[in-house]
């Protein structure tokens, strides 16, 4: 059920026009829970209706570690059979361009690459996309690109000015206003109502205002909180939710209790609404409050489906549903109200922010070190830099060591992140082989500072912790690839950026 607020409808129309007019690059920026993934699905549905010439290609999680990996994924996405292990980056780019040319010119189609979670795009991926945007005719761009991203992507755009200059359609999604929040609740109740007669008024005006204040207008949180409220009033056999019902549901749903300051704020806001309503000012319809960008309620658990006019079997106390527990419901509770559908709003199961990483066994291993978050960097990127490769298991290990972090993609600059040792880590020097070493430091933070300044388009680095005779760790920043002999290592050294070649030295058996 897609609620088309004025801003979502306008954004969708502008994206569709940009694609059909072959304008090139479109970027949509929005905070967590503002509807980017839902908008992405709606866009694909629109541009493929009927005999549309648009060919959409979707990448949901653009977390890549090398340019070759990104190009191989693009080739596979575009349906190319080429791109084996022996294929070079240049050959892959050429094959992709030939395929796009065939689709756009010879077959008169419109290839469109859509990337969700665009804030995960490394710098080398952005550079490759810029090159494909240069592939054009005198009249239009061959490849259309749409990127949905969180606000962290702005930092990437600032660093890649030559890419940002190619944006022809830049949209920002903001939380809903109070009026849109009321309209969204009414829309979803009407769409899920499957009985004869009018839709029941399950939320009082003050309850809607409380929902808005607690969720700050974020669509995903509105849907999830309202679902909890309806379940609560059904269990309590009430016909309409009030302020206390919403507040209790929010305390159950949130990862942390609502802010203490929000209680007096809610009372003041409710008093204002009562005065406006008594004066005949139209109540909620006259209020258009612009929410702040900060949410109070944490991400609630998934919704459950309640079917209308049937008896529910008894549910044992404490039976797990997903990653939470639901309270017991009496054996003969008859439900005759609106169906609340399982979550179809603004979440997708393919992104890091929406799926919970697998649990890692305890106890937590010893720490490698602590690193302060730099602006515009998400936790998965830090995991990839510290451990050389990102994986859900490694992210889970870091989350277990940092219980204060509840959203991996919503960490703040200057927050301290603790990085534990991996269970499979080897702290000894390699017994054979040759490698290129760029730096040796006494702390993980110093090694990380070297890695973060290294160009992402160059051969990838890794941080290798080595344990000395006194059990102290030193951190060696090395090129990820190892070599059979010194000649191969020196050949690779020449491919490093010029300013880094003087810092590298060949280590290991000669």
Q: Is 427 part of any domain?
A: no
pTM of the entire predicted model: 0.53
Residues 227-251, mean pLDDT to the nearest whole number: 85
Candidate from 192-196, 275-279, 333-337 with smallest mean pLDDT: 333-337
Q: Are residues 23 and 136 in the same domain?
A: yes
3-state secondary structure of 440: strand
Candidate from 191-200, 262-271, 307-316, 415-424 with smallest mean pLDDT: 307-316
Q: Is 357 part of any domain?
A: no
User: Could you say which of 173, 192, 215 is where a domain stops?
Assistant: 173
Q: Are residues 447 and 311 in the same domain?
A: no
Q: Are residues 331 and 224 in the same domain?
A: yes
The rounded distance, in Å, linking the Cα atoms of 158 and 490 is 35
Q: Are residues 33 and 169 in the same domain?
A: yes
Contacts for 23 with CB less than 8 Å, ≥ 6 apart: 140, 141, 144, 168, 169
Q: Is 347 part of any domain?
A: no
Contact 219, 346 (CB under 8 A): yes
Given a cut of 90, whether residue 334 has pLDDT beyond it is: no
Q: Are residues 254 and 314 in the same domain?
A: yes
Q: Is 345 part of any domain?
A: no
Residues 340-357, mean pLDDT to the nearest whole number: 37
Kind and range of the H or E run holding 293: none
Q: How many residues does the chain have?
A: 510
Choose from 10-19, 82-91, 250-259, 276-285 the range with maximum mean pLDDT.
Answer: 10-19
Contact 131, 390 (CB under 8 A): no
Band the pLDDT of 257: cuts 50, 70, 90.
very low
Q: Is 350 part of any domain?
A: no
Q: Are residues 415 and 458 in the same domain?
A: no
Contact 444, 370 (CB under 8 A): yes
Looking at every residue in the chain, the average pLDDT score rounds to: 76
Given a cut of 70, whether residue 340 has pLDDT beyond it is: no
The rounded distance, in Å, linking the Cα atoms of 129 and 115 is 11
CATH number for position 12: 3.40.50.300
Q: Are residues 21 and 163 in the same domain?
A: yes
How many domains is the chain partitioned into structurally?
Answer: 4
Show the domain range for 373: 367-420
Percent of the chain whose pLDDT exceeds 90: 20
Give me the pLDDT at residue 234, please: 85
pLDDT digits over 386-399, tens only?
888 777 788 888 88
pLDDT digits over 169-227, tens only?
999 999 998 888 988 888 888 887 777 767 778 888 888 888 888 888 888 888 889 88
User: Could you say which of 149, 173, 197 is where a domain stops?
Assistant: 173
Q: Are residues 328 and 182 in the same domain?
A: yes
Give me the pLDDT at residue 223, please: 87
Q: Is 358 part of any domain?
A: no
CA 230 vs. chain centroid, Å, equals 28
Contact 249, 232 (CB under 8 A): yes
Contact 390, 380 (CB under 8 A): yes
Q: Which of 186, 442, 242, 460 is nearest to 451 (CA)?
A: 460
User: Could you say which of 127, 143, 173 is where a domain stops?
Assistant: 173
Q: Are residues 307 and 231 in the same domain?
A: yes
Task: Give, in degrees to the nearest 5, the angle at Cα 45 between 44 and 46.
Answer: 90
Give me the pLDDT at residue 264, please: 54
Q: Are residues 41 and 160 in the same domain?
A: yes
Q: Is 317 part of any domain?
A: yes
Give me the pLDDT at residue 109, please: 92
The rounded distance, in Å, linking the Cα atoms of 305 and 178 is 26
Given a cut of 70, whether residue 124 has pLDDT beyond it is: yes
Q: Is 351 part of any domain?
A: no
CATH number for position 403: 3.10.350.10
pLDDT digits over 448-460, tens only?
988 888 876 667 7
Q: Are residues 314 and 442 in the same domain?
A: no
Contacts for 25 with CB less than 8 Å, ≥ 6 apart: 129, 133, 141, 145, 147, 166, 167, 168, 169
Give me the pLDDT at residue 86, please: 66
Band the pLDDT of 304: cuts 50, 70, 90.
very low
More confident position, 287 or 197: 197
DSSP state of 466: E
Q: Are residues 28 and 59 in the same domain?
A: yes
């Amino acid at each position: 059920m897609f609620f088309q607020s004025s801003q979502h409808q306008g954004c969708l129309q502008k994206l569709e026009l940009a694609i059909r007019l072959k304008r090139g690059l479109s970027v949509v920026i929005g905070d967590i829970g503002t509807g980017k993934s839902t908008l992405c699905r709606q866009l694909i549905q629109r541009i493929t209706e009927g005999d549309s010439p648009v060919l959409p290609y979707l990448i949901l999680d653009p977390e890549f570690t090398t340019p070759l990996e990104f190009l191989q994924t693009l080739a596979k996405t575009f349906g190319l059979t080429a791109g084996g292990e022996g294929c070079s980056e240049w050959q892959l780019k050429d094959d992709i361009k030939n395929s796009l040319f065939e689709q756009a010119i010879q077959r008169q189609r419109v290839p469109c690459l859509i990337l969700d979670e665009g804030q995960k795009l490394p710098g080398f991926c952005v550079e490759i996309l810029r090159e494909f945007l240069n592939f054009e005719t005198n009249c239009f761009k061959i490849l259309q690109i749409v990127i949905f991203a969180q606000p962290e992507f702005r930092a990437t755009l600032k660093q890649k000015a030559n890419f940002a200059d190619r944006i022809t359609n830049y949209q920002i999604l903001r939380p809903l206003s109070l009026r849109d929040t009321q309209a969204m609740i009414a829309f979803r109740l009407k769409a899920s109502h499957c009985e004869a007669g009018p839709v029941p008024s399950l939320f009082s005006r003050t309850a809607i205002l409380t929902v808005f204040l607690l969720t700050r207008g974020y669509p995903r949180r509105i849907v999830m909180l309202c679902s909890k409220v309806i379940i609560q009033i059904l269990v309590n056999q009430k016909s309409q939710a009030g302020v206390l019902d919403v507040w209790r549901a929010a305390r159950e749903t949130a990862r942390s209790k609502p802010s203490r300051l929000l209680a007096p704020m809610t009372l003041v806001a409710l008093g204002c609404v009562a005065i406006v309503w008594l004066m005949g000012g139209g109540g909620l319809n006259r209020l258009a409050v612009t929410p702040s960008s900060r949410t109070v309620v944490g991400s609630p658990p998934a919704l459950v489906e309640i079917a209308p006019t049937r008896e529910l079997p008894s549910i044992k106390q404490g039976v797990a549903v997903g990653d939470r527990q639901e309270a017991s419901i009496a054996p003969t509770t008859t439900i005759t109200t609106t169906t609340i559908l399982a979550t179809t709003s603004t979440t997708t199961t393919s992104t890091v922010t929406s799926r919970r990483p697998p649990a890692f066994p305890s106890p937590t291993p010893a720490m490698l070190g602590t690193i302060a978050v730099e602006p515009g960097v998400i936790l998965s990127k830090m995991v990839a830099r510290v451990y050389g490769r990102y994986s859900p298991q490694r992210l889970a290990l870091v989350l277990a060591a940092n219980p204060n972090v509840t959203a991996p993609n919503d960490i703040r600059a200057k927050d301290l992140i603790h990085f534990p040792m991996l269970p499979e880590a080897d702290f000894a020097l390699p017994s054979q082989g040759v490698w290129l070493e760029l730096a040796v430091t006494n702390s993980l933070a110093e090694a990380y500072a070297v890695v973060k300044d290294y160009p992402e388009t160059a051969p990838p680095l890794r941080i290798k912790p080595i344990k000395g005779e006194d059990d102290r760790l030193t951190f060696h920043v090395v090129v990820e690839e190892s070599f059979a002999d010194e000649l191969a290592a020196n050949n690779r050294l020449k491919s490093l950026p010029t300013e880094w070649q003087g810092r590298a030295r060949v280590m290991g058996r000669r």
